[in-house]
Amino acid sequence: MSQADHVLRRGALRRGDSGPRVSALRDLLLRAGVDVPGAPRPGGAGPDGTGPDGTGPDGTEELDTFGTALEQAVRAFQQARGLRADGVVGRQTSRALDGARWRLGDRVLRYVPGHLLHGDDVVALQSRLLSLGLLDDRRDGRYGPRTEAGVQELQRSCGTAADGVVGPATVDALRRLDRSVGGGDASALRDAERTAQARRRTGHVVLVHPAHGGDDPGALGHGLREADVVLDLAQRLEGRLAASGTAVVLSRGATQEPSAEDAADLADAVGADVVLALHCDALTPVRGSADPARLPASPARGVATFSWGSATSRSVEGARLAGLVHREVLARTGLADLRTHTWDTDVLRLTRMPAVRVELGYLTSPEDAAELADPAFRDRCAEALAAAVHRFFLEADQDVPTGLLPVVAAPSG
């Protein structure tokens, strides 16, 4: 039984819980590199201000007590991993924590059918295979048959036994290759080739993932729930794209709450050419509070757009799609410009096709919330997203300036 299994054994952990499972959770967070207030550093020495009785710097949190500080640490971990940042340690968070403690070389990796090894070491391995052109896949952090095939190809090219088992010799080979090969080029070429093939076809498929849903409202502010806003936007976008012959698949209805993994699996299953994940943002301190009276006056507002990227690699076509989405949204909505970024978050990492996550406005901003409550504004957002998808599949010599591509109006209703 792994430590994460131990943490989860009696259901989810949340604020107010106490006991050895909470101590084990602190340990998992520390190993995952999360700063946990009040917990001893690995090696035994306490941080400055830690009392001998194990209280935190504020003197309030025992090591085996799940208090506010620990909840903040859990949220920070969840946010960094693209998980629902609710501060509750359920199955997904526990699984991510379990995977986060492994560094490449810590253990021997191999393909075990029916029981796939997962963790950050597998992600690191897949990153390197991807940058070497030995993996034609995004990194899902699971050691499956495609990862094994990539490892075997690496081993053959190094003249070692192609057993697909990543032990010290294979890790050494990867480290030597890292120094001699620039990252990202091979996967960028394959990305571009895939898009070029899609351009030559008609009948593109777009997987739209309106985030959250079901029991998870997402961000809240000014009477709006993120889950409702993005589902409505997704349906408006579906109408526009369908009218122009592009098939749209939504990852959920109002009552479902698909994970990023579910959305990525669906994108594979329907042969999606691109993936759009729709979110609205909110100031983190008020996440979970629906009471507008508690919202601080804040300048945080605007639109930010993300494509997949890490320290060693990035999706070139994803970045191109993100640029188109971002510019069209700015031109058609007037939302403030929070720029485009790369982000190694789940839905972007797990999908194999160009994927974009767009955060359309802050529900905690009075200005953004007022706009997002307006159906006409939502139509303009949907138009912007539809125009970006169209432009993505146009040849360079057919492209049109930002904000000018006419988009077929959706049937009203």
Binding site for Zn ion (CB under 5 A): 211, 218, 279
What is the DSSP code string of 250-271?
ES--SS----HHHHHHHHHHTT
* Nearest-approach distance from CB 220 to Zn ion, in angstroms: 11
Nearer to Zn ion, 218 or 221 (CB): 218
Rounded-to-integer distance, Cα 385 and Cα 330, Å:
11
* Nearest-approach distance from CB 379 to Zn ion, in angstroms: 21
Phi first, then psi: give them for residue 356, nearest 5 degrees.
-135, 140
Other CB atoms within 10 A of residue 223 CB: 10
Query: Is residue 387 within 8 Å of 405, Cβ to Cβ?
Result: yes
Nearer to Zn ion, 192 or 254 (CB): 254
Closest residue to Zn ion in the complex (CB): 279
Residue 314, beta-bridge partner list = 309
Residue 148 structure tokens: 């094994």
The CA-atom distances, in angstroms, between 141 and each of 30, 85, 124, 137, 369 are 20, 20, 8, 11, 36
Rounded-to-integer distance, Cα 144 and Cα 146, Å:
6
Nearer to Zn ion, 228 or 337 (CB): 228
* Nearest-approach distance from CB 225 to Zn ion, in angstroms: 11
Query: Is residue 225 within 8 Å of 214, Cβ to Cβ?
Result: no
Rounded-to-integer distance, Cα 107 and Cα 120, Å:
12
**Mode of pairing for the β-strands spanning 274-281 and 337-342:** unpaired
Nearer to Zn ion, 211 or 231 (CB): 211
In three-state secondary structure terms, 357 is strand
In three-state secondary structure terms, 198 is helix
Rounded-to-integer distance, Cα 105 and Cα 409, Å:
54
Other CB atoms within 10 A of residue 76 CB: 17
DSSP state of 142: B
Phi first, then psi: give them for residue 281, nearest 5 degrees.
-105, 170
Rounded-to-integer distance, Cα 367 and Cα 215, Å:
27
* Nearest-approach distance from CB 97 to Zn ion, in angstroms: 21
Query: Is residue 316 within 8 Å of 275, Cβ to Cβ?
Result: no
Residue 176 structure tokens: 């030597």
